[in-house]
Structure 1
Amino acid sequence: MDLKKLEEKYAIPSRELVEDVKQIEGDIMLLGIAGKMGVSMGKLLVDALKLAGKENKVYGVSRFSDPKAKSQVEESGIVAIACDLLNDAELFNLPNVANVIYLAGHKFGTVGNEDFTWAMNTYLPGRVSEKFKDSKIVAFSSGNVLPFVKLNEGGVDEDATPAPIGEYAQSCLGRERVFQYFAKKNQTEMLIYRLNYAVDFRYGVIMEIGKSVWNGKPIDLRTENVNVIWQGDANEIAIRSLLHCEAPAKVLNVTGPETLSTKWVAKEFAKIFGKEAKFEFEAEGSALLNNASECHRLFGYPKVTIREVIELNAAWIQNGGDEFGKPTHFQERGGQF
C-alpha cells in the first residue's frame, strides 16, 4: 500500500471548506503551527484558498526548534516565521493580520514544569489578545476543562460548568477565561474551539488502541468511552470557525457524534488483524465526553466515519507507517500529564 497516496487522498479540501474560505477576508496566521495539527491545517488552508481562487497570505508561526517542521511549512506555501511567542518583542513584531488561529499550548510534561504550562496556556493568551485585538481569533482549548460525566448523560454541552482536574486542565480553563476577558474588553471577535480528541494516521486514541491490539498489549478500560474526530475534519472546522467568531467569545465543543466504546474499537482492530484484543481493569462508569451538537449544526457531521478511521489506522499500522510518538493519555483520570 502507498501510504503517501493514502494520506494525500484524505488531505483534499471539501467543497464546503472551499466555499467558506471564499468568505474569509484578509490574511490568516496560525500561531503554534509546528504542533500535531498545525502543519496539516496550514496546508489544507493554502490548498482551499487556491481552489477558491483567493490570494490571502497564510503565515505559520512557531519557535521551529525542529528545522524539518519549518521546511514542511514552507513547502506547503505557508510563510514561516520563527518566533518565541513568550518573548514580547518577537510577538509584537509579528505582522498584523485579520485572522488568527491560536494553536499554541503545553500539555505533556506539565508535572514538574507547571510554571511553563501556566505561562503558555494562560499568560500568553492575554499577550496574544492584546497584539491581535483587531483580528478574529479561533483559540484552541480542550475538553479536559469539562467534568467527567456518566455515560448515560450523553456528554456535556457548552453551557456546562467547567470542572478541570489537575494543573494542565486548570491552565486550559485559564486560557479560555483570559481570551473571554479580552473579547469583552476589546470587542475582539473570538471562538473558543474546545476539542477532544483529534485522531489521525500518526497519533490519537484510535491509533493507540490499534497499536495495543497489534502488539498484544492489554487496553486500560477504566475510561472505557471516548469521543474522537478525524484530524482532517477538525482542521476544516477550525478554519471555517473564522466565520463564526463573536464578541463576547463563542464557545464551541468539537468532536465526533458517537460515544465510542474503547472495547468495541479494540475488537474491530482484532477482526482486521486476526489477533486477540486484551483488556485490563474495570470501567469506572464516567468519562470526559462532549456534546458537539452545535458544531454539527454549523458544519454538519464529520465526513470521515469511525469505521473509516479504524480501517485507515489499521492499514497504517500494518504497513509500518510513522508515528508522532505523543500518546494522548486518554485513560488519565487524575489530571497528571
Structure 2
Amino acid sequence: MPDDSSDITQGRARGKLSLPDRGRSPWWELSRRLLLAVFILVGTVLLVYLDRDAYHDANDPTGHVDLVDSIYYSTVTLSTTGYGDIAPVAPHARMINAFVVTPLRIAFLVLLIGTTLEVLASQGREMFRVARWRKHMSAHVVVIGYGTKGRAAVDTLVNNGIDRESIVVVDPGAAALQEAHADGLAVVTGDATRQDVLRRAGVKDANQVIITTNRDDSNVLATLTVRQLNPDVWIVAAVREQENVALMRQSGANSVITSSDAVGRLLGLSSLSPTLGSVMEDLLTYGEGLEVAERDLLVSEVGRQPQSLPDQVIAVVRDEKVYRYFDPVVTLLARGDRLIVVRPAKELPWAPRPGTHDEDLAVDDA
C-alpha cells in the first residue's frame, strides 16, 4: 500500500456520498436468502424423489415419477403454480404435503418477497441516513486525502474529543473508501478540486478543512476551491516542499505544514542529540509520555505569570496572536488568553488540569 492517498484529481466518481455501514450489506442478505431458498428447493426435491412411489404423474402412462418429475413438482409446488399433473396419492404423502411441504412453500415465498423488500428497504434507509446526515451536518471537519497523513490527522482529532460523525473524508480511491468506512467515517468519493464534490462534503458549512495528499499542486487546487466555497473556514494544508509554503498560503491556507522539512529536522535532531530527538518524537506521538495541548485560562490564573502555572506553558494566544511564554507582552496573563502547554499524555489535552474542572474559565467578556 502506498504511503499516502493518490492524486485527488484522478478520481472518476462524481462526489458520491457514502456513510459507514452499521450492519451487513443488503447484497450479503440477498445472497444468504437465495442460498436458503435453494436449500428449501433441494430439500423438497429430495423429499419427493425418495418417496416417489407415493406420487402419480398423469402425463406418464405408467404414472412413474422420476428425478426430473420431482424437480418439476417441487418447483411448481413451492411457487404455488400447481398444475396438478403430478399429485400425491398415498395418504402419508398427502400428510407430508400438508404439514411439511406447505410450510416450506410459505417459507419459500416469504424468502423471495422478503428479499425484495429488504433490498428496497435498505436502499430507502440509506437515502434517509444521507438526508438526515446532510440536515444535521454543520461545523464539521472535512479531511481531503485519506492516506498516511490523513489517517493520522483523523486519529488526532478523535483522540482529542472530536466525534467521528462530525468528520467527512474526501478521496477518489476505493482503498481509502474502505479504510475510512472501517474507521467509522463518512466518505465523499471524488475529485476534491471540483466544487460539486466539495459541496457534497458540506464544505460551505464546515468549521475546518484539512488538506493532505501526496502532491502539492493538488493541495493548492483543493485549497483554492475550498476557499472559494467557504471564505471563513479554517484550512490546514500539507506540502511536501518548503518552496510551496508561500504559494499554499496565497491560495488561502491558514496553516501550512511542511512534511519533508519536519521529517528532516527530526532526523537531524535525532542524529545530533538522540535524547532531544526522542523527546520531539514523544511530543509528536499521541497517547504516551508528553502532549502539546491548548486550553482556556482559568479565573484563578488571571494576573499570574505563565511560568507560575502548574502546566508547563510554552506559548500564550492573545487576540489571535501567538506569543512565547517569555515575551514581555504576556508577562501577566489576562482574560481571554489561551495557553499552549506541555502536559502528561494521560490528561485530556483540551481540558484544564485534574482538580480544576469546576473552576470558571477566564473568558474575555468584551
Instruction: Tell me which interval the TM-score lies in, with the shorter structure as reference length.
Output: 0.3 to 0.5
More helix by share: 2
Q: Report the TM-score when normalising by structure 2.
A: 0.34
Q: Which has the higher contact order (CA 8 A, sep 6+)?
A: 1
Rg bigger for which structure? 2
TM-score where L is the length of structure 1: 0.37
